[in-house]
Structure 1
């Protein structure tokens, strides 16, 4: 009986130290939206809207700039939460932390649906 109780406490102490990750809605599937893909696949004056749709799918936002050119925006966010350990004797949770990353791609097209310019903003906090 003592060995079973001791084994149970050991397993419980191991599981209380786990960390976990979760993705925000929309980023659960694997995304091609990375700096590498942007730099290697997007060519100003060459890449078209159709090629971009095949590469990244539909944009998060479509708008027009002052010159009446179409502007597409893509955004990818991810969040990671790390749970702290739980003190077995007091039942209180120790420190807990989280971090977030955001990747934004903004693309401007000409009147023939070809990329004229793009910019990337990547943040981690």
Structure 2
């Protein structure tokens, strides 16, 4: 009986060693919203709204600035969590860790619906 209980605890301790991903990276197709794509494809004075839509899809937010020009905002966020494990034989516990990344792209269009300016904010914590 003791061996069965010990074996069950061992299997449970191994099953808690998995790594989990949440957010867009873990369960959706890969996004084009990367620094490399933005720098190579978004050109001030040349790239149109239609080209932006083809590259990144619909924006998360559409607004107007003080000059009444259209501003599109895109955001991609991902969280990766790694579950801790417990070693029942040694009596030790490992902690759980997580990391988050955020990528924001803000595009301002001119009166002809062409990119006049853009900014990128990328954070990791």
Comparing 8-17 and 60-69, the one that deviates more: 8-17
Q: After superposition, give the CA deviation of every residue in 1:31-84 in whole Å (9 maximum; x if it has no partner).
A: 100000000100100000000001100000001111110000000000011111
Q: When the two structures are aligned, how many residues end up with a matched partner?
A: 124
Unaligned runs of 5+ in 2: none
The 1:86/1:50 distance shift into structure 2, 3 A limit, reads same
Q: Which residue of 1 aligns with 2:66?
A: 66
Task: Report the secondary structure of 1:21's partner residue.
Answer: strand
Q: Which residue of 1 aligns with 2:30?
A: 30
- Structure having the higher strand fraction is 2
- Deviation of the 1:13 alpha carbon: 3.3
Structure 2 counterparts to residues 1-125 of structure 1, below 5 A? 10-23=10-23, 28-88=28-88, 94-125=94-125
Q: RMSD in angstroms over aligned alpha carbons?
A: 2.8
Task: Report the secondary structure of 2:36's partner residue.
Answer: helix
For residues 123 and 100 of structure 2, the distance between their equivalents in structure 1, rounded to whole angstroms, comes to: 8
For residues 20 and 37 of structure 1, the distance between their equivalents in structure 2, rounded to whole angstroms, comes to: 27
Contact 2:10–2:88, Cα closer than 8 Å, also in 1: no
Task: Report the secondary structure of 1:13's partner residue.
Answer: helix
When normalised by structure 2's length, the TM-score is 0.84
